[in-house]
C-alpha cells in the first residue's frame, strides 16, 4: 500500500526520471504552471527556462495560438489509427513540411518521437538495399560524439565510448564510427578534417547502408559545432560510393541554428531527414522522417513496403498543434530573433573564457555552450541555477542554454549572467 505523502515525496520514492537513480534520487523542482519563458514552481518562484524543455518550446509556454489549435481539434477527434485512415491535420502538416524542406524531399512518414524517426530512417536505409537484393549493406557509418536517441537502433549509431549507452555495446548492432569533426564552424578548411571519414568509406562502402549524422551541431553527445564544409565533403563521398545520407535534425530543425534547417548552412540535402522536438512547439510528442523518390522506389522494389506503423502515428492532436506551431514560426521574424540571440550569447558568454575552469565557449544561432575542463556536479549546479532564478541543466562537462526564440534581451541576460556566476562559484569550490 502506498502511504500518503507529499507530491515530491511520492515522486522521489516511486517515479523513475530520465538518466537518474531510484536508490539515490535527485531533488526535483515541482512545476505548477508555465507561461512565456517562465516555469512557476510550487512555492511561487519563477525560473527563466534556458533549455526550452529539451529544445522543443521555441515559442515559449502557454501560447494562445497553440492552445486554441489543440482545444479546437479536441472537439472533432483526439485520435484515429493511421492504417487505412487519414485526416486533414496530417495532410496539412505533410504539406507544410514538404514546403519548408528541399524540393527533393517528397514523402513524409509520421512518427511518435525523435528516436522513432531515427529508427524509421535506419529501416528505410536497410530496406532500400535489402529490397534490391544487396544483403551486404547492413552497417551504418556514424560520428563519434553523436547522439540519435535511446531506442535500440538509435543507440547503435550513438557514440559507443563517450555516449550514454556503453552498457549495451555487447548487444547492439555493430556499426562504424568516424572521429567527431574537429573543424570549427568558421575554420579554414583542411583536407585532414575529412581524411579519417574518407578512409572508413573507402574501406567499408560495400557494407555501409547509410551515413547518419547531426548536421553542423552535435547535440547531446557534446554540443560540438562544426564546419559546413564537412557536410559537403561527406555528401561528395556518399555520392561517389552510392551511400544513402541521413540527417538527424531533431534538435537543430525549425530555426535553432539560425537557418530553418541546419543542412542549409552547407546547402547539402540528405536522402532521409529526421525532424521532431520543436515541430509541435513542445506541446506534444511528434516527429517525422522525410525522404526522396530514390529511397521510396528502392524500399518498394519487388513489391515490398516499409515495415513500420506506430499506434499513435500522425495523432490528430499532435498534427494540429504542429500545424499551428509551424505557421506561428514561419509568420514570425524567427530568423531575426535567433540571430539577435546569437549576438547576445556571443557577447555575454565570452567573459566565461577568462575563467580557468573553462575550456571553450561556442555559439551558433540560439545555442550557447560553455565547455569546462572537468565534469559538472549536476546536483550542485542545478540547485545553484535555481537560486539564480533560472532553469539550466548541464551535462558531462557542458553548461549550455537553448532558450525559446521569444526570449527578451533582459531575460537572456539573466540566463547568461547565471551561467557565468554559477561556473565562477563552481571553480572556487574545486
Q: Considering 137, 139, 145, 277, which one is annotated as catalytic?
A: 277
Structure-block grid coordinates of residue 338: 535567433
Q: Considering 38, 61, 147, 226, which one is annotated as catalytic?
A: 147
Query: Residues 273-308, buried b or exposed e (16+ Cβ, 10 A)?
Result: bbbbbbbbbbbbbbbbbbbbeebeebbeeeeeebee
Q: Which residue reads 514538404 in cell numbers?
A: 98
H helix runs in 156-280, sequence order: 192-204, 228-241
Q: Is 277 a catalytic residue?
A: yes
**Adjacent-strand bridge partners of 367:** 364
Instruction: Say which DSSP state 59 is in.
Output: T
Q: Considering 4, 19, 103, 186, which one is annotated as catalytic?
A: 19
Instruction: Say which DSSP state 14 is in.
Output: H
- pLDDT, residue 3, reads 63
Question: Residue 11 and residue 15: Cα distance in Å, rounded?
Answer: 5
Answer for the pair 212, 122: CB distance below 8 angstroms, yes or no. yes
Angle between the N-to-C axes of helices 378-387 and 409-429, in degrees from 0 to 180, rounded to the nearest 10: 140
Question: Residue 406 and residue 1: Cα distance in Å, rounded?
Answer: 46
Q: So where are the chain's domains?
A: 7-62+333-429, 76-330
Question: Residue 98 and residue 42: Cα distance in Å, rounded?
Answer: 42
First to last CA, the chain: 44
Q: Which residue, among 313, 290, 312, has the nearest Cα to 97 in the 3D structure?
A: 290
Cα-Cα-Cα-Cα dihedral sign, residues 172, 178, 181, 182: positive
Q: Is 19 a catalytic residue?
A: yes
Helix/strand/coil for 176: strand
Instruction: Say which DSSP state 215 is in.
Output: S
Pairing of strands 139-143, 176-178: parallel
Neighbours of 49 (CB within 10 A): 26
Q: Is 248 a catalytic residue?
A: yes
- pLDDT, residue 19, reads 83
Q: Is 38 a catalytic residue?
A: no
pTM: 0.96
Structure-block grid coordinates of residue 142: 556514424
Query: Residues 184-219, buried b or exposed e (16+ Cβ, 10 A)?
Result: ebeeeeeeebbeebbebbeeebeebbbbbbbbbbbb
Structure-block grid coordinates of residue 383: 540547485
- pLDDT, residue 112, reads 93
User: Would you give per-residue pLDDT tens digits along the chain (430 residues)?
Assistant: 566 679 998 999 898 988 887 888 888 999 999 999 999 999 999 999 999 999 999 999 999 999 999 999 999 999 999 999 999 999 999 999 999 999 999 999 999 999 999 999 999 999 999 999 999 999 999 999 999 999 999 989 988 876 667 778 788 889 999 999 999 999 999 999 999 999 999 999 999 999 999 999 999 888 999 999 999 999 999 999 999 999 999 999 999 999 999 999 999 999 999 999 999 999 999 999 999 999 999 999 988 999 899 999 999 999 999 999 999 999 999 999 999 999 999 999 999 999 999 999 999 999 999 999 999 999 999 999 999 999 999 999 999 999 999 999 999 999 999 999 999 999 999 8
- pLDDT, residue 18, reads 84
Domain 7-62+333-429 has CATH 1.20.810.10: no
**Adjacent-strand bridge partners of 248:** 274
Q: Considering 226, 248, 263, 400, which one is annotated as catalytic?
A: 248
3-state DSSP helix/strand/coil percent for the chain, to nearest 5?
40, 20, 40
Q: Reading across the β-sheet that carries 46-49, which strands appear in turn?
A: 31-35, 38-41, 46-49, 390-391
Q: Which residue, among 93, 126, 407, 402, has the nearest Cα to 275 in the 3D structure?
A: 93
What DSSP assignment string belongs to 325-361? HHHHHHTTTHHHHHHHHHHHHHHHHGGGGGSTTEEEE
**What fold, for 76-330?**
3.40.640
Amino acid at each position: 500500500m502506498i502511504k500518503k505523502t507529499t507530491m515530491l515525496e511520492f515522486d522521489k520514492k516511486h517515479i523513475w526520471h530520465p538518466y537518474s537513480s531510484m536508490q539515490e534520487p535527485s531533488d526535483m523542482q515541482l512545476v505548477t504552471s508555465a507561461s512565456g519563458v517562465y516555469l512557476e514552481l510550487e512555492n511561487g518562484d519563477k525560473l527563466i527556462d534556458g533549455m526550452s524543455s529539451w529544445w522543443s518550446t521555441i515559442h515559449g509556454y502557454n501560447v494562445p495560438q497553440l492552445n486554441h489549435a489543440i482545444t479546437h481539434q479536441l472537439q472533432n477527434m483526439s485520435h484515429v489509427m493511421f492504417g487505412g485512415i487519414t485526416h486533414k491535420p496530417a495532410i496539412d502538416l505533410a504539406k507544410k513540411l514538404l514546403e519548408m524542406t528541399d524540393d527533393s524531399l517528397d514523402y513524409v512518414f509520421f512518427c511518435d518521437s525523435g528516436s522513432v524517426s531515427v529508427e524509421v530512417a535506419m529501416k528505410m536505409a536497410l530496406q532500400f538495399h535489402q529490397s534490391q537484393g544487396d544483403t551486404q549493406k547492413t552497417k551504418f557509418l556514424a560520428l563519434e560524439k553523436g547522439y540519435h536517441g535511446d531506442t535500440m537502433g538509435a543507440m547503435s549509431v550513438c557514440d559507443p565510448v563517450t555516449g550514454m549507452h556503453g552498457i549495451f555495446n555487447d548487444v547492439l548492432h555493430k556499426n562504424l564510427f568516424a572521429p567527431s569533426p574537429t573543424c570549427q564552424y568558421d575554420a579554414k578548411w583542411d583536407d585532414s578534417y575529412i581524411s579519417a571519414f574518407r578512409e572508413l568509406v573507402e574501406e567499408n562502402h560495400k557494407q555501409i547502408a547509410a551515413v547518419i549524422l547531426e548536421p553542423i551541431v552535435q547535440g547531446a553527445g557534446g554540443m560540438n559545432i562544426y564546419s559546413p564544409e564537412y557536410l559537403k565533403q561527406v555528401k561528395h563521398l556518399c555520392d561517389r560510393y552510392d551511400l544513402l545520407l541521413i540527417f538527424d535534425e531533431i534538435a537543430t530543425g525549425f530555426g535553432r541554428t539560425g537557418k530553418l534547417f541546419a543542412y542549409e548552412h552547407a546547402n547539402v540535402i540528405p536522402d532521409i531527414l529526421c525532424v521532431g522536438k520543436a515541430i509541435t512547439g513542445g506541446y506534444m510528442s511528434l516527429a517525422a522522417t522525410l525522404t526522396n523518390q530514390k529511397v521510396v522506389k528502392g524500399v518498394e522494389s519487388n513489391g515490398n513496403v516499409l515495415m513500420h506503423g506506430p499506434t499513435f502515428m500522425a495523432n490528430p492532436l499532435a498534427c494540429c498543434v504542429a500545424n499551428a506551431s509551424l505557421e506561428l514560426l514561419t509568420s514570425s521574424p524567427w530568423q531575426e530573433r535567433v540571430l539577435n540571440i546569437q549576438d547576445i550569447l556571443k557577447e555575454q558568454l565570452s567573459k566565461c573564457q577568462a575563467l580557468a575552469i573553462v575550456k571553450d565557449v561556442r555559439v551558433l544561432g540560439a545555442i550557447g555552450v560553455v565547455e569546462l575542463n572537468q565534469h559538472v556536479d549536476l546536483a550542485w549546479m542545478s540547485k545553484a541555477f535555481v537560486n539564480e532564478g533560472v532553469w539550466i541543466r548541464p551535462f558531462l562537462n557542458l553548461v549550455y542554454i537553448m532558450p525559446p526564440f521569444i526570449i527578451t534581451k533582459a531575460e537572456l541576460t539573466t540566463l547568461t549572467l547565471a551561467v557565468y556566476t554559477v561556473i565562477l562559484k563552481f571553480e572556487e569550490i574545486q
